[in-house]
Amino acid sequence: MAHAQQSPTKSSSEGDLPKESQLKHFMSTLPAREGWSQPLIQYKKYWFRPQMLEKILLVQETYKPRADDIILATQPKCGTTWLKALAFTITNRSRYSFANHPLLTRHPHDVVPFIEISGLSTDHADIETLPSPRLLATHMPMSMLPPDTTSSRGRRIVYLCRDPKDTLVSRLHYENRVVKGCNLSMENAFSMFCEGFSPYGPFWDHCLEYWKESLARPNNVLFLKYEEIMSDPVQAVRTLAKFLGVPLTEEEESSGVAEEVARLCSFETLTGLQVNQVGGVDRGNKVYLDNSVFFRKGKVGDWTNHMSQEMAEKLDRIVQEKLQGCGLMF
Ligand code: PAP
């Protein structure tokens, strides 16, 4: 589509229209489709909630990447909260003791801001004011990261993905819990997901872009799976620390730092903390999210409780076909 290539935040035929009006007009020209709790808009093959797309388009010009930014990239429901906790704890381990750690009183979303979602963290509204090196998160597809985000030799991106069946189950529960009046069925969510129609989807394209980049630039892009972290969280801590340029020292190894990080960031520890049970964040637009919505079961394979074997095989087959030949498998 020709209009998808232009920059919607730059003045064009609309002359001096304020940016927001330009964006709204631009977005009104894009394909929209109903089915999830809100209609989604398609931009460059990916589907977004309108508010998210608006922010993604805006940050194309407002986000100024720094060479030492660390970016945690995920699709929603693939383990963002967990990855934020792990990366924050690893990179700040010389600043905070485990006994008096920020994560004991603050939600992981509160300590690592998103590039494109303001208001999810309470005190990091403006990421431009954060000191370097910044730890930032994003759900943006790789191809939509603002210009220069990936070109720096030093910049690091950690991408975390998850079995699409569990991702879908997690997404379905989240939508039904967070959006008042939403009562989406597994069958409907499943068929939309299989078509590639889901927030930030197609699921496989989002993974594939980061996967290819991780193969091309392994020192800059680390590709992780939720299931791998779950099967050996301590090893995942070591891998992350090394990739992020702060490998565990021998002394740290012998004093069990990797184990402590994994324990602090575990589902069990985080869900046991008051801040993650009763707190919440005001996301603006009259949306208030309980901190607890980011924690449900935290299990691998919960799909077996919500999906038939036939559905699972169908989704596996679709994903396999889409990822065929690239070396990525679920
Ligand atoms: P987000 O992208 O909207 O922030 P995200 O954190 O990616 O959500 O996904 C939430 C999922 O991660 C939930 O999965 P479930 O619905 O299958 O249970 C949540 O339980 C899980 N999760 C959150 N924190 C942890 C953790 N520390 N360890 C393991 N899983 C976690």
DSSP labels for 92-145? TTTT--GGG-GGGTS-HHHHS-BSS-TTSSSS-S-GGGSPSSPEEEE---GGGS
* DSSP H/E element including 321: helix 309-323
Predicted confidence band of residue 152 (pLDDT cuts 50, 70, 90):
low
pTM above 0.75? yes
- Average model confidence (pLDDT) across the chain: 90
- For residue range 20-77, list pLDDT tens digits in order: 778 889 999 999 999 999 999 999 999 999 999 999 999 988 899 999 999 999 999 9
User: How remote is the CA of residue 92 from the centroid of ligand 1, in Å?
Assistant: 22
- For residue range 161-199, list pLDDT tens digits in order: 999 999 999 999 999 988 888 899 999 999 999 999 999
> 44-322 sits in which CATH class?
alpha beta
Position 117 scores a pLDDT of: 85
Cα gap 160→158, rounded to integer Å: 7
Question: Is residue 123 scored above 60 in pLDDT?
Answer: no
Cα gap 257→30, rounded to integer Å: 49
Cα gap 189→198, rounded to integer Å: 8
Q: What angle do CA 169, 144, 175 make, to 5 degrees?
A: 25
Choose one of 240, 292, 295 to mutate for the ligand 1 pocket test, by most ligand atoms within 8 angstroms of C-beta. 295
What are the sequence ranges of the domains in the chain? 44-322
Question: Is residue 85 scored above 70 in pLDDT?
Answer: yes
Choose one of 228, 276, 294, 297 to mutate for the ligand 1 pocket test, by most ligand atoms within 8 angstroms of C-beta. 294
101 is catalytic: no
Position 153 scores a pLDDT of: 66
